[in-house]
Copies of this chain bind each other. A is one copy, B any other.
Amino acid sequence: MNNTDNRAIGIFDSGFGGLTVLKEIEKKLSNENIIYFGDTARLPYGSKSRETIIKYSKEIYNFLKKKNVKLIVIACNTASSFALEALQEISDIPVIGVIKAGSRCASRESQGNILVIGTKGTIKSEVYKKEIHNINNNLNVYQQACPLFVPLVEEGMLNDEITTLSIKKYLDNYINNIDSILLGCTHYPLLKESIKNTYNKNINIINPAEEVAEEVFNTLQKYNQLSNNKNRKIEFYVSDDKEKFIEYGSLFLGYNITNVEEIDIEEYKKA
């Protein structure tokens, strides 16, 4: 019996944010090849309709399938919310999203009071709140949109006074009433230390990406599909502006990205 599968794991996002998910998978599964796609030509996804996001996600699914991946991770909150089920319906390989994983982790770890933070779109959709309540309706879920966090992360201002003030602006009202903060935006893990350092309190900060990495590991193990690559490869594909991806991507990952290729994602409309 063959106990290994050296095909790659596929990960996609609207742009750079999903790299925080890649980072956790890279760490947890060190023998796995990874193919990452960032839809930089069509970001942001947050302001687009469900129908459009499903269409885009299917194109990306077709692209990743052509690359012969064995599992797909939707590393984008909007696409996880709108397109997870649509992809699972058409897919013959496992598809994993960040929202179910993050909500599961929050429900398991919280002692009763969770604050979900995210972009305006994610918070307005209440997707984490609903998913957490599906698991445990007794948990108190507070929500707060933090629109300055994405530009602060993208500016690399992780330890700036402006960032500390922004954290206080958004979180001060909740901090004494909660035990956990769920990072409901893939940019926010870069602010985890800054948030911890702003408050003199033991707060459990939940990064859904860690739970996603666990789920990927467990799924591959269950189906005997873990790799035994000695020199795993990570490849990056984007739909626009390779240079910007290299610049921002290196900030997200903490090392220099090199192998990035620009593709025309609309060519993958048909499987």
Binding site for B on A (CB under 8 A): 40-41, 43, 47-49, 147-148, 150-152, 154-155, 160-162, 165-166, 169, 240-241
| Copy total for this chain | 2
What are 24 A-B residue pairs whose CB atoms fall within 8 Å in the complex? A40-B47, A41-B47, A41-B48, A43-B47, A47-B240, A47-B241, A49-B240, A147-B151, A147-B154, A147-B155, A148-B148, A148-B151, A148-B152, A148-B155, A148-B162, A150-B151, A151-B151, A160-B169, A161-B165, A162-B162, A162-B165, A162-B166, A162-B169, A165-B165
**A169 — nearest CB in chain B belongs to which residue?**
B162
Whole-angstrom distance between the alpha carbons of A40 and B151 in the complex?
20
Whole-angstrom distance between the alpha carbons of A162 and B161 in the complex?
9
Q: Could you list 4 further interchain pairs (A-B, Cβ under 8 angstroms) beyond the known A148-B151, A150-B151, A162-B165? A: A41-B47, A148-B148, A148-B162, A162-B169
A190 CB to nearest B CB, Å: 15
Whole-angstrom distance between the alpha carbons of A160 and B162 in the complex?
11
**A149 — nearest CB in chain B belongs to which residue?**
B151
Identify whether the interface residues of A are mostly helix, strand, loop, or mixed: loop
Chain A to chain B: the 8 pairs with minimum beta-carbon distance, closest first: A162-B165, A151-B151, A147-B151, A148-B151, A162-B162, A147-B155, A162-B166, A161-B165
Interfacial chain B residues near A162, Cβ < 8 Å: 148, 162, 165-166, 169
Interfacial chain B residues near A49, Cβ < 8 Å: 240
Interfacial chain B residues near A161, Cβ < 8 Å: 165
A49 CB to nearest B CB, Å: 8
Interfacial chain B residues near A150, Cβ < 8 Å: 151
Interfacial chain B residues near A43, Cβ < 8 Å: 47
Whole-angstrom distance between the alpha carbons of A148 and B161 in the complex?
14
Interfacial chain B residues near A155, Cβ < 8 Å: 147-148
Whole-angstrom distance between the alpha carbons of A166 and B160 in the complex?
10
Interfacial chain B residues near A40, Cβ < 8 Å: 47
Whole-angstrom distance between the alpha carbons of A1 and B130 in the complex?
67
Whole-angstrom distance between the alpha carbons of A48 and B240 in the complex?
9
Interfacial chain B residues near A240, Cβ < 8 Å: 47, 49
Interfacial chain B residues near A147, Cβ < 8 Å: 151, 154-155
**A150 — nearest CB in chain B belongs to which residue?**
B151
A48, A161, A162, most chain B CB atoms within 10 A:
A162
Whole-angstrom distance between the alpha carbons of A47 and B160 in the complex?
26
**A43 — nearest CB in chain B belongs to which residue?**
B47
A239 CB to nearest B CB, Å: 11
A48, A160, A166, A169, most chain B CB atoms within 10 A:
A166
